[in-house]
Amino acid sequence: MRERRLSALAARQSRTVGHDQLQALGFTYDAIRYRLRAGRIRRRHPGVYVVGPGPLDQRGCWFAALLANRPGPALSHLSSAAKRGLARERGRVHVTTATDTARDLGGVTVHRVRRLDSADLTRIDGLPVTTLPRTLLDLAETEPYHRLESIAEAADRREPLDLRAIRACMERNPGRRGLRPLTRLLDDYLPVGDANEGLERLFQRFLAAEGFPQPQTNVLVCGLLVDCHWPDRDFVVELDSVEHHSHRAALERDKARDGKLLRAGIPCLRVTHRRITRERGELIADLASRLPRN
């Protein structure tokens, strides 16, 4: 009976189990020691075991780290971002806990805090994790700004960032080093909307930095799907990347598209990465001839 209960628990916790959980299932100290010698379980962290042979998957590593930091731990930082599919962990599990323990856990970075507000916690697929606002605040302390920005943009592509929730989290956590870079992120924030990654996002930021209005993105104009459109100015910008515009056939299609727009009285300006990064002054002048500038 207890073996079946252990199998069920291990299945729920991705093959991990705590020493106290084994005891609660009826395993004595001698029974646990026997299973260790027999290789049926093995130690992962102090008081945490892996059931069965073979390496743990990512979820199992998360469960093991959480079990080793009870009570009240949560996946945080890059692990919280990884659970949401927004970033990779880079080899270590990150756990935040208000428990004052002194354990040194292999492969785990433990972030100890005086208080972990319940409003900064949630559960995803049965795992306790920090909320997205708290995760961004934590990452603002441990990651370079460009990586924080990239993770925030990845989250925004799925659902617009809840700026009110982020600011509420910042108010709950005064004195944090991450407040300054996160404030900068909010000040610079542009909703991703329908913009694609890479060149389109770079162009959006260029427009914001130079005081130009934001366009509608990826919309139909004269039956053509264009990258950027300012309907009140009858103006289109197409963003040309090397990958999509390096072949002769693509260049001919672009000329035909530009001609169709021109016949409709809509000028089209083509913008490349080089123009945004290395010919900025000329690009500003071209855009200013058609668009207002703050």
> What does the alpha-carbon distance between residue 105 and residue 93 come to, in Å, rounded to a whole number?
10
User: Once rounded to an integer, what is the mean pLDDT over residues 29-50?
Assistant: 95
Residue 255's pLDDT band (cuts 50, 70, 90) = confident
- For the record, the structure tokens of 189 come out as 């924030």
User: Once rounded to an integer, what is the mean pLDDT over residues 44-59?
Assistant: 95
Express as a percent the part of the chain with pLDDT over 90: 74
Which one has a higher pLDDT value, 249 or 150? 150
**What average pLDDT does the structure give for the chain?**
90
CATH code of 199-288, in short, is 3.40.960.10
The reported pLDDT for the residue numbered 198 is 72
Residue 249's pLDDT band (cuts 50, 70, 90) = low
Quick: pLDDT tens for 123-166.
999 999 999 999 999 999 999 999 998 899 889 888 888 989 99
> What does the alpha-carbon distance between residue 216 and residue 66 come to, in Å, rounded to a whole number?
45
The reported pLDDT for the residue numbered 244 is 47
Quick: pLDDT tens for 178-211.
999 999 988 877 665 544 557 888 898 899 889 9
> What does the alpha-carbon distance between residue 127 and residue 62 come to, in Å, rounded to a whole number?
8
User: Once rounded to an integer, what is the mean pLDDT over residues 10-36?
Assistant: 95
One-letter amino acid for residue 42 of the chain: R
Residue 1's pLDDT band (cuts 50, 70, 90) = confident
DSSP calls for 239-283: EE-TTTS-SHHHHHHHHHHHHHHHHTT--EEEEEHHHHHH-HHHH
> What does the alpha-carbon distance between residue 153 and residue 142 come to, in Å, rounded to a whole number?
17
The reported pLDDT for the residue numbered 246 is 43
Residue 16's pLDDT band (cuts 50, 70, 90) = very high
User: Once rounded to an integer, what is the mean pLDDT over residues 9-15?
Assistant: 95
Query: Is 229 exposed, middle or buried, given 0-12, 13-18 or 19+ CB atoms closer than 10 A?
Result: buried
User: Once rounded to an integer, what is the mean pLDDT over residues 104-127?
Assistant: 93
pLDDT at 222 over 90: yes
Burial 1-28 (b: 16+ CB within 10 A, else e): eeeeebeebbeebbbbbbbebbeebebe
